[in-house]
Amino acid sequence: MSAPNNPYDPVRVAALDPATLDAAVAAADAAFAAAQDLEALKAARLAHLDRGQVAQARREIGALPPAAKAEAGKRVGAALAAVQAAYSAREAELVAHRDAQILVQERVDVSVPAARRPLGARHPVELTMERLVDVFVAMGWEVAEGPEVESEWMNFDALNLGVDHPARQMQDTFFVDPPDGGLVLRAHTSPVQIRTMLTRTPPIYVVAPGKVFRTDDLDATHTPVFHQIECLAVDKGLTMAHLRGSIDHFVRAMFGDVRTRVRASYFPFTEPSMETDFQCFVCRGGDEACRMCGGSGWIELGGSGMVNRKVLQACGIDPDVYTGFAFGFGIERALQLRNGVSDMRDIVEGDVRFSGQFGMAV
């Protein structure tokens, strides 16, 4: 007879031993409890859940005889569920802990005053220039530009300011090194007239804003760098009436419903030439103590005239066919008048607090 068939006892298989399983569950519990963060918990899970003894026990079930499988499966399943539950509970704790930490670390105090960066402001000269240009662009005029380093010929000669012309000393000019090199920092925007007439054919209606330079020291009423705006029209049949009309329109757009008047004057590039004044927009001539006009009732605007025949000729335009008018005036002056800026240095120094008053943040 053969020896009695010793039935296979799953409890005896090492990994399936209840004590071993209990110890494995306890070890897993302890390892999960000891994990102080999610990283450590992950390592403990690998060791005790994914690859530990309980997992091994589960694999061994497959080798058991069918009769033993159910009971062993129940025990191992319970052990696995216990380890899984312990893991999930600890994971929930650590996630909550991490989230709480993040909330503390990344706390934003919305009541803290923001660090303000000053935005800067557009310069009032620029704004005034744009406003002036807009008046002409609205009438269909075009904007023309020229270089700030200009040839003497454009700045003087072509404008009928010959080498010996006394008017050549009227402007104190910066000469670019070498002094006999024929280059200057333009002393007015009038050379843009020349450049325009040399490159375009009439009818010409242009407005040319820009920087100009003269050897003045900076004080309350002077600055060596300032801005002018130059207006030039060349067409058939233009007369002084058109010139007056254009100036009237522009002055009204800038200073309100005021009248203009002209006085005979002299500029080499215009003939006849005139100075234009406009009625004081503060007192309209009714206040002898007016600080804007000094009580005269009139404010000087700038020079103008009919383009000199010689200037037209220098630019290749037939003065018997075409006539033109031109006028030019200072932007800083317009700004001073319109906005009550009394000291030129405020305009030049570029303090953003000054510019900011003009309400134009960038």
DSSP, collapsed to helix, strand or coil, labels residue 120 as: coil
| Stretch in the footprint of ligand DAH (CB under 6 A) among 5-13, 195-203, 289-297, 321-329 | 321-329
Identify which of residues 24 and 192 has a Cβ nearer to ligand DAH in the complex: 192
Among positions 136, 298, 327, 354, the unique one binding ligand DAH when judged by CB under 6 A: 327
Residue 188 touches ligand DAH, criterion: CB under 6 A: yes
Alpha carbon distance 68, 64 (integer Å) = 6
Q: What does the block give as tokens for 49?
A: 């859940």
> What's the Cα-to-Cα distance from 309 to each of 155, 198, 313, 314, 318, rounded to whole Å?
17, 15, 6, 9, 8
Among positions 190, 308, 323, 355, the unique one binding ligand DAH when judged by CB under 6 A: 190
Residue 304 touches ligand DAH, criterion: CB under 6 A: yes
Residue 44 touches ligand DAH, criterion: CB under 6 A: no
- Cα 317 to the chain's mean position, in Å? 43
> Pick from 285, 307, 305, 304: which is nearest to 296 by CA?
285
Alpha carbon distance 142, 247 (integer Å) = 16
Residues 90-149 touching ligand DAH, rule: CB under 6 A, are: none
Identify which of residues 255 and 329 has a Cβ nearer to ligand DAH in the complex: 329
Q: How far is the CB of 190 from ligand DAH (least distance, A)?
A: 4
| Spatial contact of 212 and 228, defined as CB atoms under 8 Å apart | yes
Radius of gyration of the CA atoms of the chain, in A: 46
Q: Tell me, what DSSP letter sits at residue 257?
A: S
Residue partners of 286: CB distance under 8 A and separation at least 6: 297
Residue 323 touches ligand DAH, criterion: CB under 6 A: no
Residue 278 touches ligand DAH, criterion: CB under 6 A: no
Q: How far is the CB of 354 from ligand DAH (least distance, A)?
A: 25
Among positions 258, 328, 331, 355, the unique one binding ligand DAH when judged by CB under 6 A: 328
| Stretch in the footprint of ligand DAH (CB under 6 A) among 7-15, 300-308, 312-320, 338-346 | 300-308
Residue 268 touches ligand DAH, criterion: CB under 6 A: no
